[in-house]
């Protein structure tokens, strides 16, 4: 299939997610498989890209929680079609990830989007939710043997807890990869806090986790 046609189809998959059209998303994903588009590309450049746009619309207050949920239903409808066809070993070192919003913070829409992307990419996810006590992250890494921990904070007050959690995690498992994200953070703050990586959005979170995980795996 030509590059132009395949990018048009990926754009249609993206649009179906944004328009929360479950049937259309599933139908277009079936067409992508028929046309020989790599299912992982269809997930990341179609479904996940759609959810990324949805995240932007939410930030701009054009979409609200009900729309987000409907969009993720459309994404999952497409995912159900594509996921069985993804050759995990070929595309990513799908590892185990613990994720949560740090203590004192109850903003979890961003984390939910990130979780959706990691699910799409075939990771095993241990989601601790929001307002997570610092010690819980360490306990969950001990319990699951997770390779990556993703910490999220949307408030400047709660992000202050991050260096402490990172220190605790590294003391427990020095090789664990810690990824941080959230509105008040940036690359510089992430480095200062001792994180291994920073992700500005849900799609880059997956790419960054894969890149860092491959180094230690």
State the pLDDT at residue 90: 58
Sorted by sequence, the CB contacts under 8 Å of residue 17 that are 6+ apart come out as 25, 46, 47, 50, 51, 53, 54, 71, 74, 75, 78
Q: Summarize the confidence of residues 33-54 as an average pLDDT.
A: 90
- The residues that bridge with 101 in the sheet, in sequence order, are 152
Sorted by sequence, the CB contacts under 8 Å of residue 210 that are 6+ apart come out as 92, 93, 121
Same domain, 78 and 35: yes
Comparison of pLDDT for 93 and 79, the residue scoring more: 79
Query: CA-to-CA distance for 74 and 64, rounded, in angstroms?
Result: 16
Same domain, 105 and 211: yes
Range scoring the smallest mean pLDDT among 144-148, 170-174, 208-212 = 208-212
Q: Summarize the confidence of residues 92-110 as an average pLDDT.
A: 84
State the pLDDT at residue 93: 54
Last residue of a domain, one of 89, 116, 141: 89
Range scoring the smallest mean pLDDT among 33-37, 120-124, 152-156 = 120-124
Last residue of a domain, one of 37, 72, 89: 89
CATH no. for residue 63? 1.10.1240.10
State the pLDDT at residue 155: 85
Q: Are strands 177-181 and 197-198 parallel, antiparallel or unpaired?
A: parallel
Q: Summarize the confidence of residues 166-193 as an average pLDDT.
A: 94
- pLDDT above 70: percentage of residues in the chain: 95
Average pLDDT over the chain reads 89
Q: Summarize the confidence of residues 46-55 as an average pLDDT.
A: 88
Judged against a pLDDT cut of 70, whether residue 1 lies above it is answered with: no
Query: CA-to-CA distance for 206 and 204, rounded, in angstroms?
Result: 5
Same domain, 126 and 54: no
Same domain, 119 and 28: no
Range of the domain at 83: 3-89
Instruction: Please work out, in degrees rounded to the nearest 5, the angle formed at the alpha carbon of residue 166 by the alpha carbons of 161 and 170.
Output: 155
């Amino acid at each position: 299939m030509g590059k132009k046609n395949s990018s048009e189809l990926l754009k249609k998959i993206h649009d179906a997610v944004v328009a929360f059209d479950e049937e259309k998303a599933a139908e277009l994903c079936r067409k992508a498989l028929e046309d020989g588009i790599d299912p992982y590309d269809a997930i990341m450049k179609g479904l996940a890209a759609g959810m990324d746009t949805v995240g932007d619309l939410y930030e701009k207050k054009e979409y609200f929680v009900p729309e987000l949920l409907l969009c993720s239903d459309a994404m999952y409808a497409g995912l159900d079609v594509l996921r069985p066809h993804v050759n995990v070993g070929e595309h990513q070192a799908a590892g185990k990830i613990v994720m949560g919003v740090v203590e004192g913070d109850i903003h979890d829409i961003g984390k939910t989007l990130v979780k959706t992307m990691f699910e799409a990419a075939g990771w095993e996810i241990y989601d601790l939710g929001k307002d997570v006590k610092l010690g819980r992250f360490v306990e969950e890494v001990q319990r699951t043997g997770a390779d990556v921990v993703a910490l999220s904070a949307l408030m400047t007050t709660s992000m202050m807890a991050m260096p402490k959690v990172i220190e605790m995690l590294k003391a427990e498992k020095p090789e664990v990869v810690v990824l941080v994200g959230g509105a008040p953070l940036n690359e510089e703050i992430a480095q200062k806090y001792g994180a291994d990586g920073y992700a500005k959005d849900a799609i880059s979170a997956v790419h960054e986790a894969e890149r860092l995980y491959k180094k230690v795996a």
